[in-house]
A and B are shown apart, each in its own frame.
Chain A
Amino acid sequence: MKSNIAYRELLDSAPFANTQPKTGYCINTDAEKTNSFQNLFMLLSLIFSYPDDQIYQEILSTQYTTRELFQIYNRSAPDLLRQEELQAEYISLFVNNYTGIPLIPYASWHLDPDGRITGNTLDRIQNIILEQGYQIKDSNSEPEDHISIVLELCSRILQFTAFSESAPEKKTKANQDFSWLVETCLGPMLQDMQEKIANLACSDFYPLFILLSRDFISDVQALSDLTCTEKNIAGN
């Protein structure tokens, strides 16, 4: 029976309030499946990163995978723009725009609604990064709750949710962190973004990827049982 919870404790626990700790994900029943999902997360992470030369090259070379992914969701893949065009669109959607960017890519903005891009959400993501054995590269200047970093983090953590080598506590923690990132950070962020794309004056590259990501994250959320029983996967 909870009691004596003060206002600040209530607020600080808000980004964590809706998390039900999961025991595991269907994804990690074998290495191959884990690997696939890792790749998919990483792909999306690259899509949501500024398309500099390296990233654009990688996006170019993974076009086949991208098309496959869109097919799985019964959508046609968007055409890849020229690099300069893609850069301009990325900036106008996610970096700077007159009167403000329409798609704010920081989890804490969506979860800690106080008009700032830092908050308890960012704290937790920073802690997860450290606890899972990573740190942010010096070349990066975005806060760690940027959607591309959250997606990359999900990709990395998946390996620890795999059944093979992790110790049980490590696996449990990885499951918990992964589920929090997916359900509490990515889900709402992509939902918010999806609601804004209707009125955007841009090509359909990023809007289609947002829709795709939204669906993909929903699917990942559905896969939340270690034994991967029928109740998570519909017949057919």
Chain B
Amino acid sequence: MNNSNKISRRRFLALAGSGLASAGIGGHLGNLKARAEDTLPTSDNSTQEPGNKDKLESRFSFCNICPNKCGLIARVQNNRVVRLDPNPEHSKSRGMICARGNAGIQQLYDPDRLKYPLLRKGKRGEGKWQRLSWEEALDLAAKKFRDIADKYTRCGWWFTWGADAQAHFVHRFANVFGSYHIANHESLCFWTRNRGFLDVFGEGPPYPDVLNSKYIIMIGANRFESLITPDSIDLMTAIQQGSKLVVLDPRRTKTAARAHEWFPVKPGTDMAFILALMQVIIKERLYDPEVIHKETTGFNDLEKHVRSYTPEWAARETGIPARDIRRIAREMAKAAPAAMVYPGRRSSTYTNSTEIWRSFAILNGLLGNFDRPGGLLARQDLSLHEAKSYLAPWYEDNPKERADAHKAPLMFEDGAMQTMRDAVINEDPYPVKGLFAYHTNPMQAMPNREKTRRMLENMEFVISVDIKMSDTAWMSDLVLPAPSALERRDPASVKQAGSAGACVYTRDPVVPPLFDSKSVFEILQGLAKRLDLGKFFDFGLEEYREEQLKGMPEVKKALREKGVYNHNGSLYGLYKDKPLRTSSGKIELSSARYKDKGLDPIPVYERPQEVPQNSFRLVVGRNACYTNSNTQNNWLLLQFVPNNPLWINPGAAKKLGIRDGDQIKVSSSVSHVLTVAKVTQDIREDTVCMWSGFGNISDGLTLVGHKGGSVAELLEDHIDTLNGNAALHETFVTVKQA
């Protein structure tokens, strides 16, 4: 390197030499051209004055980092977002944004965000890319759509997406393109809850009126860390107003730490607790017979069914003392109907999760809280017009059914991720060779990552539309850059909001899109044109939105002036004198439909598998500072959650000679990862926990600094037997020093 301030005469003359002078390099290239106007900018833009006091504009939008979609006000200065504030008018988000919401600015201005269409050169996952123009990218993608459709029918393509306001356009495209395959992240999450509650109430699920509930049993849900609006906020308000919170969780989460009572329940035994509560309520006649008679069916069957599920029996299963179970049942019944078993959200836990959640639903039914204050609420009747409606073409050569049809008796029509993955890997019943993934990351979201890798290897063409180079994008053939929430225009969407009713929200760009990003709507439009499907996408988003909101001037006005439309309908009594959407028209404490299918009409307790000696059950969890695999490279959020150590109980750790901070190897039957131990009292001795979304693709071989270990790598491939939803708590692991 040159020494301080001198340059040698020889070098200076060589650099200034005539050879280089005449080289004439790149004159016609480069990114600068002469300015159009003659005049220079005024002193307002002068380089002397950094514009810290320039005008600040405020623009509405809503966050896209997690499914909550909190309303926000972006503060913009010189076309740059400088601050994000919550939108105080937004009834669902109650005027808040969380740490991740604030980090949205980092996401917008992330140097690692996807910038250009990229095409894989070299092997899948090797990381050799070539930049394409949009024309080239869309031409290539369209060709691949056609090629795969020609070889394997249109069902040779699978479309999958995450929770996003433009995701339904992917669904539209799948429909008009002609593929049945739309299994998506929902089957890794809450299908089992939806199924369980749908089959009891005809609403899948109903929405909890947390704000007005006086007694809340929260099982596994961790609302003070796994934030859901308005529930997380309303829960705190309710507690402040005297409501009681009882938490069952193998970990002392922050929710448990702020609850009135916490029971470190034995994982997988929650149904025993619920059945025993019902046994007490029925035996001691703590229910409202009129409500039961009028609004439910199957009570007699339920009464017989729970007779033997005593608190003493449940105490042996769960580890919760019988007298507490009895007491809670009485307290809960006393608070009824403003008492609930909180439905939760992620119910991807055990192979019998549908039945576990159905037992939650049945107890709620027994409490008579449906459609009443403090209980479970029906869906608000707030809907927008179906804009640009279409009739999807019919494709003669398509197979009769989805590739994963009938893999479980109570699947939802979309198909499930894990069963689809098996179908792809085995090419059974027929090949599925193309994948279009938007705002979703199967490589981190699905258990048994090795299988997901194999699934992608089995594909002929994988397209990822994302804002960052996720694990799935890294394994794709074509990666297309999408803009962040703050750069987008979106159609209007309705969101049900529990105690806050429902709301309508939309987006308009706060700042213009950076780099070469294009929204998935534009991408699909470009593809449609090339595939003779242009007529299904021949509109702009503003036009689409106009049609959605036709004849709703109050909604339009609210969106313009407040950034949100809060629906002020009644929360209660929506089913007064109306039948429920169940086969009996009533709340089904016992399900004739299940019986007809040869399934248990009322959930039967199944003891979870015993944790083998020297092993632990691995559970996954959540923290308020990260979202799935969306945020692990965020500069701001990494300062809160730099990695995902393995939570392990001190007694268990001591037996293994492991101390807090030690590097450890965690092994399951499918793989292993290296990570760091967090020795804590906050977890049961038979259980360990890791947060999801961390860890790199070549895990198990090196401890990657602050990036942690991948839970997806470790988890075995279990699904709910009734429904096909993922079962993420059925994996046992061993732990030892690395």
Contact = CB atoms under 8 A, between A and B. Distances in A.
Given A141-B115, A234-B9, A65 B633 contact: no
- The B interface, classified by DSSP as helix, strand, loop or mixed, is loop
A222 interface: yes
Contacts of A52: 131
Interface in A25-83: 26-27, 32-33, 35-37, 39-40, 42-43, 45-46, 49-50, 52, 54-55, 58, 62, 65, 68-69, 72-73
Given A33-B16, A36-B16, A96 B129 contact: yes
B16 A32 contact: yes
Interface in A153-197: 153, 156, 177
Nearest to B113: A96
Nearest to B697: A98
A42 B25 contact: yes
Interface in B33-65: 33-36, 40-41, 45-47, 50-52
Contacts of B411: none
A129 interface: yes
Contact of B21 (A35, A96, A223): A35
Contact of B32 (A58, A98, A152): A152
Contacts of B52: 8-9, 12
A214 B515 CA distance: 27
B29 A55 contact: yes
A143 interface: yes
Given A32-B16, A40-B15, A40-B20, 15 more contacts: A13-B50, A36-B23, A39-B24, A88-B127, A92-B127, A96-B115, A97-B469, A118-B109, A131-B46, A136-B31, A141-B514, A148-B31, A222-B7, A223-B12, A232-B5
B305 interface: no
20 contacts: A26-B12, A58-B26, A73-B11, A87-B129, A91-B118, A96-B114, A96-B118, A98-B469, A100-B633, A101-B111, A118-B109, A123-B78, A127-B46, A127-B47, A130-B45, A135-B36, A139-B31, A156-B32, A218-B7, A234-B9
Contacts of A99: 633, 696, 704, 707
Contacts of B31: 136-137, 139-140, 142, 148-149, 152
- The A interface, classified by DSSP as helix, strand, loop or mixed, is helix
Interface of B: 1-2, 5-12, 14-27, 29-36, 40-41, 45-47, 50-52, 78, 80, 105-106, 108-112, 114-116, 118, 121-122, 127-131, 469, 471, 474, 479, 514-516, 633-636, 696-697, 704, 707
A215 B130 contact: no
Given A40-B20, A117-B111, A127 B41 contact: yes
Contact of A95 (B15, B36, B115, B128): B115
A213 B349 CA distance: 55
A140 to B, nearest CB: 4
A116 interface: yes
A23 interface: no
Nearest to B513: A141
B20 A65 contact: yes
Contacts of A39: 20-21, 23-25
B395 to A, nearest CB: 36
A91 B129 contact: yes
A63 to B, nearest CB: 11
B19 A68 contact: yes
B25 A58 contact: yes
B664 to A, nearest CB: 21
A117 B24 contact: no
Contact of A142 (B51, B106, B515): B515
B21 A36 contact: yes
A129 B32 contact: yes
A52 B29 CA distance: 11
Interface string A200-224: 0000000000000011101101110
The 9 closest A-B pairs by CB, nearest first: A115-B635, A116-B109, A88-B128, A33-B16, A36-B20, A12-B50, A140-B31, A218-B2, A35-B21
A139 B676 CA distance: 47
A97 B127 contact: yes
Contacts of A68: 19-20
A47 B52 CA distance: 35
Interface of A: 8-9, 12-13, 16, 26-27, 32-33, 35-37, 39-40, 42-43, 45-46, 49-50, 52, 54-55, 58, 62, 65, 68-69, 72-73, 84, 87-88, 91-92, 95-101, 104, 106, 109, 115-118, 120, 123-124, 127-131, 133-137, 139-143, 148-149, 152-153, 156, 177, 214-216, 218-219, 221-223, 231-236
Contacts of A104: 111
A212 B276 CA distance: 75
A58 B27 CA distance: 10
Given A32-B18, A115-B635, A232 B24 contact: no
A199 to B, nearest CB: 12
Given A95-B115, A96-B114, A84 B121 contact: yes
Contacts of B19: 65, 68
Given A97-B127, A141-B115, A43 B32 contact: no
Contact of B29 (A54, A117, A143): A54
Nearest to A214: B1
A45 B23 contact: no
Given A12-B50, A123-B78, A152-B31, A87 B131 contact: yes
Contacts of A219: 2, 7, 11-12, 15
A222 B111 CA distance: 31
Nearest to A129: B32
Contacts of B516: 141
B635 A43 contact: no
A123 B35 contact: no
A150 to B, nearest CB: 10
B696 A134 contact: no
B14 A72 contact: yes
Contacts of A234: 6-9
Given A52-B131, A115-B636, A106 B111 contact: yes
Nearest to A121: B50
Contacts of A26: 12
B32 A141 contact: no
A84 B130 contact: yes
Contacts of A223: 7, 12
Tell which of B9, B111, B636 has the most Cβ of chain A within 10 Å: B111
A124 B47 CA distance: 6
A133 B659 CA distance: 63
Nearest to A146: B31
A30 to B, nearest CB: 9
A137 B112 contact: no
Contacts of A124: 47, 50
Contacts of A109: 111
Contacts of B108: 116
Tell which of A46, A127, A214 has the most Cβ of chain B within 10 Å: A127
A115 to B, nearest CB: 3
A140 B516 CA distance: 9
B515 to A, nearest CB: 5
A88 B132 CA distance: 12
